[in-house]
Structure 1
């Protein structure tokens, strides 16, 4: 039996600001993100296994992505911790807001790289991350493919 890819989709709301950017996105704003996570592996063939026929249980994949990405980023504001936005971030944190201070400029491109690292670290040994697609708007998204990042 060959490899099979399966995909699970997730949604979350998050705000960010791009420090130093020369357009409107330098201002704090938000997006309704859509994250598609595709993994690849061989379906389980052991007839005695409770997950017979599955590459990974969609519920198990959901748990990983929810814990690593959705629960942390949903309704958070993401700032690059190495910018003057740190002052705004501290003020928001003091007021009880969910703020993520990232080691990177919080573009869709950098976020999808970060998400790939976090998800890959949690997948079972027999399942590999194939690709991620992070859609920021109806017409804009960033993609990450394992084959291009090995």
Structure 2
């Protein structure tokens, strides 16, 4: 039996999308309001979905409370109320804090800490009510 377990957490963070080697005009043309020199913020929603076989004794794939703690310690407590361009976090220097980049690096932060009976299936990050990105480890 293969099951999927999802947990949702949230955080608020600011960022700016800006390529230093480009002109101001090109940055604003490509990134629009996201290139605001004073940064801007989002209320992010993060979903993490695991897949695997439940423990035969507990029936859990992973205790949801433990998953929540892992998500907070490795991701949301680090990013919440941060400026993702300036504050220390897990994005390598020079990597723009786009939703696309964030889901990949969130995956990298969480994957090593999962129990042996399960693995990450999907990291989904919603930036606005109309925009989200998913990463499936590919």
TM-score calculated relative to the size of structure 1 = 0.78
Partner of 2:79: 73
Partner of 1:62: 68
Q: Does 2:129 match 1:138?
A: yes
Q: Indicate the SS of the match to 1:133.
A: strand
Structure 2 regions of 5+ residues with no counterpart?
20-26
Q: Does 2:40 match 1:34?
A: no
Verify the 8 A CA contact 2:55 2:117 in the aligned structure 1.
no
Rounded to whole Å, the distance in 1 between the matches of 2:107 and 2:125 is: 11
Q: Does 2:88 match 1:100?
A: yes
Q: Does 2:127 match 1:118?
A: no
Give the count of matched residue pairs: 123
Higher relative contact order (CA 8 A, sep 6+): 2
Rounded to whole Å, the distance in 1 between the matches of 2:120 and 2:84 is: 24
Rounded to whole Å, the distance in 1 between the matches of 2:56 and 2:116 is: 16
Deviation at 1:124, TM superposition (A): 1.2
Structure 1 regions of 5+ residues with no counterpart?
47-51, 80-88, 90-98
CA RMSD of aligned residues (A): 1.2
TM-score calculated relative to the size of structure 2 = 0.85
Deviation at 1:127, TM superposition (A): 1.3
Stretches of 4+ moved more than 6 A in 1? none
Deviation at 1:115, TM superposition (A): 0.1
Deviation at 1:19, TM superposition (A): 1.2
Higher Cα Rg, which structure = 1
Deviation at 1:130, TM superposition (A): 0.3
